């Protein structure tokens, strides 16, 4: 039996939180006399009313939440936030149609950053703020999800990160809650530090706040059509780069730093691999750009480092059109789309720890071929790498490839050329943002796609953000059976 009424009730506080945040663009719209004022007020009212109804529907008894309830709650939270977050876009004058409004909201809440809005520079501040806030909410949600529900649900090898904090049994619930609160505190702290840094680096206060929100969430929405390239500032690019990296690391590892043990971050296998991969790709492309005489070394380093980190951390800011760097760069950036950051961060993609697990398995296979009768015990980061985790990473990889494959096929059937189809599917599943080609490349956006294409991408973004299985599982008949 799924505790549907209790799950419904739990959506109340989430929606109330969204309504509270929506007050900010309402105030901004009021102050600047925005044409979107009514749109925001109606959305605010609708969100508050539904949030109240849900909160007041509290069932008399608090049932024990089971695994299936968690799955349902996770899915419904994101769908609900996407739906109510879309309301201002739906009612506003600035977003074309219903599909575009939903796409922008989903791209926000999943921290993807693909946009269908053009002429961002001339849009009212309220809409720009709300877009950034949607990503910030999405990042907040994924940090909470990654620290609590996902390891508990054993999705895609995440059981490796199951700690006492992800044990929501009654015994340890207060402890888990304390950890969650601390993580949210870290998220707030990073956001604040990022905004201040941007401001010092030369952004306007508004740009600093909005970009901070879309940086720490590795979202990538900007307030300018040309993204970070608009500022043409080394200082701003440097701030973005540092905070994108910070946002792609496991937030759990920031807790010991607060307690005065700063080395935990650098000793973490996932973090080390992440820096190793990112650095290798940067080095490779700097060498390429220099060898092909496209720019001098410092300029190459500046452009490569920024855009590689932006795509790899699944942020999606753009400081230069890297698709003009030749097909080698295009191929490298395509593969980079899949990489992602660390688990327990706000970034998407396949994630570094799965590459770590894969490479352990790869090494073991080679050893086994050489020594067929030997036995092996696998350990990663001090935890046993059980067969269950390996099997679950394998299933995740398959599901990920399947998601990108099916999405690309459907996008091609919807009339897109094959480069657009592939790169749109990849960038949506990894929650990156920009794609490749003359339609959705780094200097274009998603406005030109057909409505069916946009809906396909909405589903793909949600699948990617929720680690695929969270969504797939509720589509199985077995989920709904007793």
Question: Which residue lies nearer to a second copy by CB, 180 or 394?
Answer: 394
Task: Please say which residue, 91 or 455, places its beta carbon nearer to a second copy.
Answer: 455
- Cα torsion angle, 244, 247, 253, 256, sign: positive
Residues 313, 218 contacting (CB under 8 angstroms): yes
Residue 40 or 469: which CB sits closer to a second copy?
A: 469
DSSP state of 160: G
Nearer to a second copy, 233 or 397 (CB): 397
Tokens of 480: 């709904």
Residue 403 CA to residue 471 CA, distance in Å, equals: 12
Nearest to 120 by CA among 131, 111, 112: 131
Distance CA 319, CA 233 (A): 10
CB of 58 to a second copy, least distance (A): 27
Contacts of 267 (CB under 8 A, 6+ apart): none
Q: Smallest distance, Å, CB 432 to a second copy?
A: 17
Residue 319 CB, shortest distance to a second copy, in Å, is: 21
Q: Closer to a second copy by CB, 172 or 409: give it.
A: 409
Q: Are 393 and 354 in contact (CB under 8 A)?
A: yes
**Shortest CB 370 distance to a second copy, Å:** 6
* Cβ-based neighbours of 105, under 8 Å, separated by 6 or more: 82, 83, 85, 86, 89, 134
Specify the residue, 247 or 336, whose C-beta has the smaller distance to a second copy: 336
| Interface residue list for a second copy (CB under 8 A) | 67-68, 71, 153-155, 288, 326-328, 330-332, 334-335, 358-359, 361-362, 364-370, 372, 387-388, 390-399, 405, 408-409, 412-413, 415-419, 421-422, 436, 469, 472-473, 476, 478-479
Give whichever of 56 and 478 is closer to a second copy, judged by the CB atom: 478
Whether residue 137 contacts residue 81, with contact meaning beta carbons closer than 8 Å, is answered with yes
Q: At its nearest, how many Å lie between a second copy and the CB of residue 336?
A: 11
Question: Shortest distance, CB of residue 369 to a second copy, whole angstroms?
Answer: 5
φ, ψ (nearest 5 deg) of residue 158: -70, -10
Tokens of 239: 């701030």
CA–CA dist 366, 356 (Å, integer): 16
Q: What is the distance between the alpha carbons of residues 31 and 132, in angstroms, rounded to a whole number?
A: 19
| Tokens coding 2 | 């799924």
First to last CA, the chain: 6
Q: Which is nearer to a second copy, 118 or 397 (CB)?
A: 397
- The residues pairing with 384 across neighbouring beta strands, listed in sequence order, are 379
**Which token pair is 28?**
């901004």
- Return the number of other C-beta atoms located less than 10 Å from residue 253's C-beta: 19
Q: Are 84 and 43 in contact (CB under 8 A)?
A: yes
Shortest CA distance to 324 belongs to which of 370, 280, 350, 285? 285
Residue with tokens 């969430």: 217
CB of 4 to a second copy, least distance (A): 17
| Smallest distance, a second copy to C-beta of residue 482, A | 11
> Which CB sits closer to a second copy, 247 or 399?
399
Report the nearest approach of a second copy to the CB of residue 40 (Å).
Answer: 39
Nearer to a second copy, 67 or 205 (CB): 67
Separation of alpha carbons 457 and 115, rounded Å: 11
Q: How many CB atoms are closer than 10 A to CB 280?
A: 11
The nearest distance, CB 400 to a second copy, in angstroms, is 11
Give whichever of 132 and 330 is closer to a second copy, judged by the CB atom: 330
Q: State how far the Cα of 429 lies from the Cα of 401, in Å rounded to an integer.
A: 10
The minimum distance between CB 306 and a second copy, in angstroms, equals: 21
């Amino acid at each position: 039996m799924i505790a549907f009424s209790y799950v419904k009730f739990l959506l109340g506080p989430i929606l109330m939180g969204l309504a509270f945040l929506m007050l900010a663009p309402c105030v901004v719209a009021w102050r600047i006399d925005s044409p979107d004022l009514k749109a925001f007020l109606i959305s605010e009212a609708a969100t508050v009313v539904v949030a109240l109804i849900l909160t007041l529907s509290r069932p008399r008894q608090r049932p024990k939440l089971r695994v299936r309830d968690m799955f349902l709650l996770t899915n419904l939270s994101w769908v609900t936030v996407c739906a109510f977050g879309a309301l201002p876009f739906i009612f506003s004058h600035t977003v074309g149609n219903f599909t575009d409004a939903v796409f922008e909201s989903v791209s926000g809440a999943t921290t993807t950053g693909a946009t269908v809005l053009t002429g961002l520079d001339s849009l009212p501040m309220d809409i720009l703020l709300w877009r950034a806030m949607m990503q910030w909410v999405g990042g907040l949600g994924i940090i909470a999800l990654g620290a609590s529900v996902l390891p508990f649900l054993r999705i895609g090898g995440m059981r490796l990160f199951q700690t006492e904090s992800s044990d929501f049994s009654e015994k340890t619930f207060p402890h888990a809650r304390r950890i969650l609160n601390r993580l949210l505190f870290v998220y707030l702290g990073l956001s604040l530090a990022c905004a201040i840094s941007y401001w010092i680096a030369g952004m306007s206060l508004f740009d600093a706040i909005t970009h901070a929100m879309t940086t720490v969430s590795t979202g990538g929405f900007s307030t300018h059509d040309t993204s970070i390239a608009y500022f043409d500032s080394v200082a701003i690019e440097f701030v973005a780069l540092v905070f994108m990296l910070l946002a792609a690391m496991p937030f759990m590892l920031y807790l010991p730093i607060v307690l005065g043990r700063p080395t935990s971050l650098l000793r973490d296998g996932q973090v080390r691999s992440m820096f190793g991969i990112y650095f290798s790709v940067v080095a490779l492309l700097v060498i390429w750009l220099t060898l092909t005489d496209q720019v001098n070394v410092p300029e190459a380093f500046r452009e490569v480092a920024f855009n590689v980190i932006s795509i790899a951390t699944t942020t999606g800011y753009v400081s230069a059109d890297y698709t003009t760097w030749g097909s080698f760069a295009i191929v490298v950036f395509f593969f980079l789309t899949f990489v992602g950051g660390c688990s327990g961060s706000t970034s998407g993609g396949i994630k570094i720890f799965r590459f770590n697990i894969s490479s352990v398995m790869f090494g073991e296979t080679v050893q086994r071929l050489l020594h067929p009768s030997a036995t092996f015990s696998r350990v990663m980061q001090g935890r046993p790498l059980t067969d269950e985790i390996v099997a679950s990473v394998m299933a995740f990889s398959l599901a990920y490839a399947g998601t990108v494959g099916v999405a690309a096929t459907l996008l091609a059937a919807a009339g897109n050329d094959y480069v657009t189809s592939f790169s749109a599917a990849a960038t949506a599943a990894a929650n990156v943002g920009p794609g490749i080609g003359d339609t959705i490349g780094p200097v274009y956006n998603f406005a030109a796609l057909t409505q069916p294409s946009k809906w396909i991408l909405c589903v793909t973004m949600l699948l990617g953000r929720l680690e695929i299985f969270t969504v797939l599982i509720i589509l199985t008949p077995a989920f709904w059976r007793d």
